[in-house]
């Protein structure tokens, strides 16, 4: 049997010709969009991705608030040390952290304000940091009760302390 290229290649040539002409034509109404099944499959996949990703994102945000509170406690502790260097003692229990914003009556060498805004003294959950002078764990105690606003806890609910 003799091989004839013209005979065997004819179906392939016709196929390529059809593909070229189909590429030039605009799609018909039936082929223009997605089917309902295709859309539902995509929605299910997106739902599954969101179900797995959302808890991780929320966990990350909770850790971020705790880390921010820890950094703020250290910052306020440094500011309290600066206040003590200027005035000679830490703010009294009565004056509290307000002494960092406004000069107390008994602080003659006050060189403040030591913080620019009142919200610098609030934790990431919107509550004022707790200041105790004299402290039970050091010269003073500075802390936040965390997200649950109660003693103890784990994760986002843990207490953030200066000691």
pLDDT at 7 over 60: no
Q: Tokens 């009142």, residue?
A: 118
pLDDT for the residue numbered 121: 94
106-161: pLDDT as tens digits: 888 999 899 999 989 999 999 999 999 999 999 999 999 988 888 888 878 888 99
pTM equals: 0.63
CA 134 to CA 142: how far, in whole Å? 11
22-48: pLDDT as tens digits: 666 666 655 668 899 999 999 999 999
- Cβ atoms of 146 and 140 closer than 8 Å: no
């Amino acid at each position: 049997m003799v091989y004839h290229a013209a005979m065997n290649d004819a179906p392939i040539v016709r196929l390529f010709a059809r593909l070229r002409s189909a590429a030039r034509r605009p799609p018909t109404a039936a082929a223009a969009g997605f089917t309902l099944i295709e859309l539902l499959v995509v929605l299910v996949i997106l739902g599954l991705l969101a179900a797995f990703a959302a808890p991780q994102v929320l966990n990350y945000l909770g850790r971020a608030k705790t880390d921010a509170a820890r950094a703020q406690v250290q910052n306020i502790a440094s500011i309290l040390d600066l206040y003590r260097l200027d005035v000679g003692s830490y703010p009294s229990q009565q004056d509290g952290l307000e002494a960092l914003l406004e000069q107390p009556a008994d602080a003659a060498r006050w060189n403040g304000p030591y913080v620019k805004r009142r919200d610098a003294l609030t934790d990431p959950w919107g509550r004022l940091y707790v200041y105790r002078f004299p402290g039970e764990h050091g010269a003073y105690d500075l802390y936040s009760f965390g997200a649950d606003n109660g003693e103890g806890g784990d994760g986002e609910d843990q207490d953030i302390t200066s000691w």
